[in-house]
Amino acid sequence: QSALTQPASVSGSPGQSITISCTGTSSDIGAYNFVSWFQHHPGKAPKLIIYGVTNRPSGVSSRFSGSKSGNTASLTISGLQAEDEADYFCCSYAGSSIKVFGGGTKLTVL
């Protein structure tokens, strides 16, 4: 299973919106509605912020939203805040109980 493709970095100013893409194949993202997104501050445990493509766990800000089109999933963060600066990873189900992660995207809040 190949890793999903994410941009290495994205940046935005406070208050702006940014979108992080996660590109897979017709065998993972394109085949299933099981895409998750994680926020990871270095030195801390990753945090689930989106599951099932569009769903937010209880307690996660509504500023985070997920979507999918074809083989590409996207995470949008609106009203960017300094605390959003972190690494973001996507994960997709790839069938046969297999999960595959993206390479991660570093978000910088300018």
Partner 1 sequence: QVRLQESGPGLVGPSGTLSLTCAVSGGSISSNNYWSWVRQPPGKGLEWIGEMFHSGITNYNSSLKSRSTILVDKSNNQFSLQLRSVTAADTALYYCARDSLELGGKGAFDVWGQGTMVTVSS
Binding site for partner 1 (CB under 8 A): 1, 3, 6, 32, 34-36, 38, 44-48, 51-52, 55, 57, 89, 91-93, 96-104
Q: Which one, 17 or 54, has the nearer CB to partner 1? A: 54
Q: Which one, 44 or 82, has the nearer CB to partner 1? A: 44
Count Cβ atoms below 10 Å from residue 13 Cβ, excluding itself.
9
Q: Least distance in Å: CB of 105 to partner 1?
A: 10
Q: Which one, 18 or 91, has the nearer CB to partner 1? A: 91
Of 62, 37, 40, 41, residue with least CA distance to 50: 37
CA diameter of the chain: 41
Q: Least distance in Å: CB of 61 to partner 1?
A: 16
Angle at 13 (CA atoms; ends 5, 21), nearest 5 degrees: 15
Residue 109 near residue 11, CB atoms below 8 Å: yes
